[in-house]
Every structure is written in C-alpha cells, then in structure tokens.
C-alpha cells in the first residue's frame, strides 16, 4: 500500500457496531467485565483504549514498523524511551536537538545517573570514539532543529548494530511521509505528533514505533506503568489530521523549496539552511534517505543582532510568531530565545544558533502570499 493510501486505511476499519467510517471516540475510563477476567481485551482506560489502538496501528504502518505506542506528548514519548535505560548507561545524542529533549536529558535523566554525550553525528570516526561499553543508545534528530543538518541514518545504524547499541530517531521534522528511519536500521522511532502528523495545531501527541518485540514489550509495560497516555479525543484528532498528511506534506515541501530559494537571493539574508539546496553539505544523504526535503527553513541576517531578527518577526503578517511547527499555517520563530532558550549560550553558538537566526515552519498557504509577506517584513 502506498503512503497516501495508508494514511486513510492502514489499521482503520469502519466501526463494527455502527459502520461509522470515522473511528469513534471511546471516551471511557473502564470496561464492564462479565466475570472477573472475562472481557473483550479492554480492562481499564490507561491500559487499553480502542481509539488509541487504531492510532497506534495506523502510525506503526506509516513508519513501516510492527508496533506503535502513543503518549500524551512528544516529550512523554521520549521520556518513556529513556526509561528503558538504567543508572550507569550512556547515551550519545546529536548536538543540535530539540531544546526540550536536551533539557530532559541534561536536567532530568542526568540526575538519575545516565550520562549524555553530544556530537554532530557528521563524522563517524568521532561517533565511534565516543562509544564505550556503557553506551546503550544513540539518539538522532534528522533534519535537525533548527540548523536542518542531515545525519546519515544508515551510517549511524551500521555502527549501532555493530556495537549492539539502540539507535533511536526523533522523526518529527521529516514525518513518515518523507522518511522512515526503520528502513535504514533504526530500532526506535519517536514522534512529536503535535507537529506534522497532527498537522492542525490543535493537539499535543507523542508516539514511539519499533519492530523488536522485546523493546515493544518493555515500552508497552512502561506506557501503562508510567501512564503518560493520550486522551481518546486527542487520539481522534490525530487520526483526523493524519488523513491529509500526504497532501499536506507535499504542499509544505513545495512552499519551503520556493521560499528557501527566494531567501537565498535576498540581499539582507546571510545564510539559508535548507537540505534541498544541491550545495547543502548533506544534500546527497538527504536525497537518498528522504522522499522530499521538508517544510522547515532557517536563515540568518547580515545584521546578526537580536534586534534585527525581532524586527522581522514583528513584521510578518501571515507567518505567526509562535513556538511549534508542522501545522497548516506558517509560523516564524526565534530559536535563540524560544525553542532553544534552555540551551546554554556557548552550546547554542557552537551549533550555529546565532542571535539573528530565524526559523520558518512553512505552511500550506499560497507561496506567492508567503513570499510577499517575507518581502515586506525584510524590507
Ligand atoms: C516538539 C518536539 C518535541 C516535543 O514534542 P511535544 O509534543 O511538544 O511534547 C520533540 N522533538 C521535536 C523534534 C519536536 O519538534
């Protein structure tokens, strides 16, 4: 089944009791049993929910994974994966991570005796050198946030496999429409489904997908034992959003491509980060492992000051200044003070998150209107 069919049909059947084509919202906390233990596979709302099951199966199919689990947020999904680890374990992560992930690693899990090392994941020898007998997990985001660098999933997966280390990939920026990390050897895929998967800026949702039954069993145990589960209504909203994921991603990608090329020739713009440029340092890898280059673009100004960046962000009309990404409407953001504010200044500068860096989540409006908006804001 092709992706644009899977979004509508994989794991989704009409409701057997009524024929309702839309998956019902099973808004219940518990399920009646005929006699103790005599039930239809549903006991308690945290443990199982039919709306959630459909979403989990659908997301697993989209990622070409055997198993899917949903969580109350992307962070809850990441947190649950971290709970697979034990004190003394080490994690090697990309150095250009979502700010909240960096915060969870360094401010929460470091306290429990898990050690985190960060590297760019561009040089496989450097990655090799960071691995010790205690390394349990490699954590990767590609395209990365906000610099949109691309990490070679197959190369990292090969190293992880050789060393018996899990490779976990946060696939939020690409979405399964553009990239399926399991195909390149990832063991665990994590999503903030709040972003492209939900797509309409109306739900917070997370997901973990995997193929390995032992990993799945542990994660499923944790989903119930820890309890960061999403509501049935949020599962419904996410399922509703997914139905248009294929067409939305095409529009996001086409618009981002047009805007990246527009920005690149603008006299006030210094650099544009977009993996679809054929001179992007990782273009060949992006072309191989992604089906298109995504809806995110970031850029810096020749006037690399906070004030210059803020001036642009105040001036846009269609690009709304807000955290988040991946919704149908275009957003503009300032990583240095917004999404990446929890990253220390020197770390931030090292990875290229300069004061004037502006991140665009390009929506699905008409490209001409978006360009006119940027043109007046940059004037
Ligand atoms: C937003 C985001 C998260 C966190 O997800 P929430 O749903 O906000 O908890 C994790 N990773 C990436 C790449 C994100 O963009």
238-249 pLDDT, tens digit per residue, is: 999 999 999 999
Per DSSP bridges, beta strands 115-119 and 67-71 are: unpaired
Q: Is residue 199 very low, low, confident or very high in pLDDT (cuts 50, 70, 90)?
A: very high
Helix (H, G, I), strand (E, B) or coil at 114: coil
What average pLDDT score do residues 308-333 get? 96
What average pLDDT score do residues 206-215 get? 98
Atom of ligand 1 nearest to the CA of 173: 13
Cα separation, 284 vs 147, whole angstroms = 17
Question: Ligand 1 within 6 A of 74 CB?
Answer: yes
* Domain boundaries 246-378, corresponding CATH code: 3.90.1150.10
* 283 contacts 277 by C-beta, under 8 angstroms: yes
Atom of ligand 1 nearest to the CA of 172: 13
Question: Ligand 1 within 6 A of 238 CB?
Answer: no
Q: What fold does the segment set 3-242 form as a domain?
A: 3.40.640
Active site residues: 46, 98, 170, 195
pLDDT for residue 336:
85
251 C-alpha to ligand 1 centroid (Å): 22
pLDDT for residue 352:
84
Contacts of 133 (CB under 8 A, 6+ apart): none
Q: Is residue 109 very low, low, confident or very high in pLDDT (cuts 50, 70, 90)?
A: very high
Please check the confidence at residue 340 and state whether its pLDDT lies above 80. no
CATH 3.90.1150.10: which residues of the chain?
246-378
> Which contacts qualify for 212-215: CB closer than 8 Å, 24 or more apart?
212/187, 213/66, 213/67, 215/84, 215/166, 215/187, 215/188
CATH 3.40.640.10: which residues of the chain?
3-242
257-278 pLDDT, tens digit per residue, is: 999 999 999 999 999 999 999 9
Question: Ligand 1 within 6 A of 201 CB?
Answer: no
pLDDT for residue 303:
96
293 C-alpha to ligand 1 centroid (Å): 19
* 44 contacts 33 by C-beta, under 8 angstroms: no
75 C-alpha to ligand 1 centroid (Å): 6
Contacts of 92 (CB under 8 A, 6+ apart): 116, 117, 118, 119, 127, 130, 131, 135, 137, 138, 139
Question: Ligand 1 within 6 A of 75 CB?
Answer: yes
Question: Ligand 1 within 6 A of 294 CB?
Answer: no
Please check the confidence at residue 220 and state whether its pLDDT lies above 90. yes
324 C-alpha to ligand 1 centroid (Å): 8
Q: Give the residue whose CA is nearest to atom 12 of ligand 1.
A: 98
Atom of ligand 1 nearest to the CA of 193: 7
What pTM value is reported for the model? 0.96
Q: Tell me the percentage of the chain whose pLDDT exceeds 90.
A: 92
Cα separation, 36 vs 90, whole angstroms = 43
| H or E, element range at 332 | strand 331-333
Question: Ligand 1 within 6 A of 145 CB?
Answer: yes
Q: Give the residue whose CA is nearest to atom 7 of ligand 1.
A: 74
139-189 pLDDT, tens digit per residue, is: 999 999 899 999 999 999 999 999 999 999 999 999 999 999 999 999 999
Question: Ligand 1 within 6 A of 172 CB?
Answer: yes
């Amino acid at each position: 089944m092709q992706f644009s069919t899977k979004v509508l049909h994989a794991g989704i059947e009409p409701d057997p009791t009524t024929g309702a084509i839309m998956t019902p919202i099973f808004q219940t906390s518990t399920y009646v049993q005929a006699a103790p233990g005599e039930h239809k596979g549903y006991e308690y709302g945290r443990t199982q929910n039919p709306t959630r099951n459909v979403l989990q199966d659908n997301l697993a199919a989209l990622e070409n994974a055997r198993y899917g689990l949903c969580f109350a947020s992307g962070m809850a999904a990441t947190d649950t994966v971290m709970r697979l680890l034990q004190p003394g374990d080490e994690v090697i992560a990309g150095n250009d991570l979502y700010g909240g992930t960096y915060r969870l690693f360094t401010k929460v899990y470091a306290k429990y005796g898990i050690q985190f090392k960060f590297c760019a994941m561009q040089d496989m020898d450097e990655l090799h050198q960071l691995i010790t007998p205690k390394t349990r997990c490699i954590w990767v985001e590609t395209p990365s946030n906000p610099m949109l660098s691309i990490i070679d999933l197959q190369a990292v997966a090969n190293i992880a496999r050789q060393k018996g280390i899990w490779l976990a990939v946060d696939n939020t920026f690409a979405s399964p429409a553009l990239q399926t990390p399991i195909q390149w050897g990832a063991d665990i895929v994590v999503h903030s489904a709040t972003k492209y998967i939900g797509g309409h800026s109306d739900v917070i949702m997370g997901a973990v997908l995997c193929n390995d039954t032992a990993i799945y069993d542990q994660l499923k145990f944790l989903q119930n034992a820890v309890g960061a589960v999403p509501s049935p209504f949020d599962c419904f909203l996410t399922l509703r959003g997914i139905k248009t994921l294929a067409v939305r991603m095409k529009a996001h990608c086409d618009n981002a491509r047009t805007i990246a090329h527009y920005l690149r020739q603008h006299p006030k713009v210094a650099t544009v980060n977009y993996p679809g440029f054929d001179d992007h340092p990782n273009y060949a890898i992006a072309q191989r492992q992604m089906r298109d280059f995504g809806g995110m673009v970031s850029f810096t100004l020749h006037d690399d000051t906070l004030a210059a960046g803020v001036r642009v962000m105040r001036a846009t009309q269609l690009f709304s200044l807000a955290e988040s990404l991946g919704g149908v409407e275009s957003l503009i953001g300032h990583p240095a003070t917004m999404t990446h504010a929890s990253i220390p200044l020197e770390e931030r500068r090292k990875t290229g998150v300069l004061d004037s860096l502006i991140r665009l989540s390009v929506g699905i409006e008409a490209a001409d209107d978006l360009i006119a908006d940027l043109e007046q804001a940059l004037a």
